[in-house]
Structure 1
Amino acid sequence: MTNPTTSPPDSQSPPPPDQAPCLARFDPVRTGTHCVYAPASRLWGAPDYDRDRTPEENLAGAVPLLCDFIDHTYADNLDGFVVELAGERFGASVRALAQTTHAVLRFLSDHDPADSRCLYGEIERVSWCFAFGGEEFFVNTFAPCYPSAHSRYGFGIDRTYLLIQPRPSFTRVLRPGETVLPPPVREKVRRDYADNGRGYDPRASYCPYEAWRIVRPLDVDAPAVRWWETPAVFP
């Protein structure tokens, strides 16, 4: 029976972030990346992308959820927050993806409640990592520009994704005393990619700069993609 003093639940209210529609669309990427940890990962997703609104307006709706995600990361063992941009233009080329990535991370940095201003200093350095809300994150990008043989392949989806992973999600899979994935695990990841026809650039795992790992070049022999040097505006 409905309490007469209580309004009925809003049928139009968005789903909880662990059931966000973007997660279902991202699932082919999550399950197809051949990472040994990906299938069991616990993700939250940003609100559904509204094509009638600007990218900035869509991101503004994601900021409060990202703050909540940080609050729940440790208690709920969360592994990542998915930001989805609908439309192929955001990732139609590596250049477009680099620009999109810079625009997204710049927007989040500018709305960081901890005001870390992580994009306003030197980015190409060993100690740099994207920061928001007092936490540090790894960032991976997946986009239509990558072919099926690429480790960042988007599995035919006409959307671009930024997977924002808190550092604690990485340390949880390490054994006591480890600071990086042991060589046998890294080798298994590379072997799984190769067995499924996807190359995995080993330089990305050993390169000194986290910024180089965020947007991967199409060719393993190509130079690093310096996305932070592109305009921080959406293509």
Structure 2
Amino acid sequence: MWNTLHKYRSNLILCIRISCFLGFLATSLVISWSSLTAFVALLVSLYALKDDENKRDAIPKFNRNPLKGKPQISVGDLPRKVIDLMEHKVTELVTYDAEDVDSLANFETLKMNTECIFAKKARLWGSPKWNYDLSIEHNIYQSVPTFLKFTCVCEPLGLDGFVYELPGDYGKDVQTFGQAVHRVLTTISDHDPSGVHCMKQSFIAKRGWVFQFNKITFFVTTFAPCYPDNHSRYAFDSDHAYILLQPEISFAQHDLPSDTPVTNWDNPKTVRDRIRVAFRDAGREYKIRDTIYFPTVLEIVKPIESNGPDVKWWISDKKND
């Protein structure tokens, strides 16, 4: 619209200038009031009717195409307090109260009864209520913003883990549970802002691999209804299955000693010794490998039998995806 009006205005000015110039030529042979008037009109057409591009640029931006040109102000130009307020409001829109959810309330029984001496005082965040009309992938996707926030604040807030709760049907047997764990961790990994996408790494079944998201590494533990009461992954008769992601920095904050295949069963001295003895005394002794150099992926989903074959849960069963 502006370009059309500007074109008409420029043509009008040109016509006036030409008319004034012709009038000046026609009357300039004899100096008279008419020739002087024509000369003045010519000067006016040259200076007063100037086609000023600066005036065009002075038109407010909202009268021009909003898709062209740069914005008048960027977020970085705003005061820090305003930016913080904007971030807070956005967070409120895309997340939920991760410390007040059913998943944590349901996980409380397991948390208070497990033999891990850190569990009872652990500060956790949890996943939102499960939507049975959606797939695993869509349910987990909805919690990714909150999990991302967790990775940003877990260290300064002293958070110990993030709990994902799944319907019990996904934990009815170890094979079904393993595939559910694969889908959950893959969905999280696919949205890793750091771009690592650890679930797609080629060395996932080898030493050195670890689950990570947003440059935070995690120790992953799982619990499901399929595990009996003499198993370390026993869910204490819960109707749900759980995936607990513990940031490894949490272990450092609790001064947990380095892993070792050696255990002082008769005279436990370290925190790790006491945890292993507690599980044994409760009838839930778990397998301790004779070396610390093994693929950590093998510890995420345990077989039902302590000496049973490793569950290759990281290999996707496309038929069930």
Offset from partner CA, 1:87-111 (integer Å, 9 cap, x none): x221111101111111111111111
What SS does structure 2 have at the residue aligned with 1:17?
coil
- The two structures have a TM-score, normalised by structure 1, of 0.86
Picking from 214, 239, 259, the partner of 1:180 is 259
- 1:107 is matched with 187
Picking from 223, 227, 230, the partner of 2:309 is 223
Tell whether the 8 Å contact from 1:98 to 1:230 is kept in structure 2 after alignment.
no
What SS does structure 2 have at the residue aligned with 1:228?
coil
The answer as to 2:123 corresponding to 1:37 is no
Offset from partner CA, 1:60-82 (integer Å, 9 cap, x none): 11100000101111110111000
Alignment of 1:68-79 (within 5 A): 68-79=149-160
Alignment of 1:105-144 (within 5 A): 105-120=185-200, 121-144=202-225
- Which structure has more relative contact order (CA 8 Å, sep 6+)? It is 1
Inter-CA distance 205–70: structure 2 relative to 1 (3 Å threshold) = farther
Quote how far apart the aligned CAs of 1:114 are. Answer: 1.3
Picking from 51, 54, 60, the partner of 2:132 is 51
Inter-CA distance 41–147: structure 2 relative to 1 (3 Å threshold) = same
- 1:62 is matched with 143
Quote how far apart the aligned CAs of 1:206 are. Answer: 3.8
Tell whether the 8 Å contact from 1:23 to 1:82 is kept in structure 2 after alignment.
yes
- 1:7 is matched with none
Tell whether the 8 Å contact from 2:207 to 2:293 is kept in structure 1 after alignment.
no
Partner amino acid, structure 2, of 1:156: D
What is the alpha-carbon distance in structure 2 between the residues aligned to residue 156 and residue 118 of structure 1?
32
What is the alpha-carbon distance in structure 2 between the residues aligned to residue 72 and residue 165 of structure 1?
13
Picking from 88, 96, 103, the partner of 1:22 is 103
Aligned residues: 220
Partner amino acid, structure 1, of 2:240: R
Quote how far apart the aligned CAs of 1:31 are. Answer: 1.5
What SS does structure 2 have at the residue aligned with 1:124?
coil
- 2:178 is matched with 98
What is the alpha-carbon distance in structure 1 between the residues aligned to residue 309 and residue 155 of structure 2?
36
Offset from partner CA, 1:104-123 (integer Å, 9 cap, x none): 11111111111112122211
Q: Tell me, which stretches of 5 or more residues in structure 2 are unaligned?
A: 1-93, 264-269
What SS does structure 2 have at the residue aligned with 1:229?
coil
Aligned-residue CA RMSD in angstroms? 2.2
Percent identical among aligned pairs is 35
What SS does structure 2 have at the residue aligned with 1:161?
strand
Offset from partner CA, 1:190-213 (integer Å, 9 cap, x none): 221122222222229846121011
- 1:195 is matched with 281
Tell whether the 8 Å contact from 2:222 to 2:301 is kept in structure 1 after alignment.
yes
Tell whether the 8 Å contact from 1:55 to 1:234 is kept in structure 2 after alignment.
no
- The two structures have a TM-score, normalised by structure 2, of 0.64
What is the alpha-carbon distance in structure 1 between the residues aligned to residue 147 and residue 316 of structure 2?
25
Quote how far apart the aligned CAs of 1:14 are. Answer: 8.3
Inter-CA distance 111–94: structure 2 relative to 1 (3 Å threshold) = same
Tell whether the 8 Å contact from 1:143 to 1:152 is kept in structure 2 after alignment.
yes
Tell whether the 8 Å contact from 2:259 to 2:292 is kept in structure 1 after alignment.
no
Tell whether the 8 Å contact from 1:14 to 1:47 is kept in structure 2 after alignment.
no
Inter-CA distance 62–14: structure 2 relative to 1 (3 Å threshold) = closer
What is the alpha-carbon distance in structure 2 between the residues aligned to residue 212 and residue 204 of structure 1?
14
What is the alpha-carbon distance in structure 1 between the residues aligned to residue 184 and residue 233 of structure 2?
18
Inter-CA distance 32–234: structure 2 relative to 1 (3 Å threshold) = farther
- 1:156 is matched with 237
Which aligned segments of 4 or more residues in structure 1 are displaced greater than 6 angstroms? none
Tell whether the 8 Å contact from 1:91 to 1:97 is kept in structure 2 after alignment.
yes
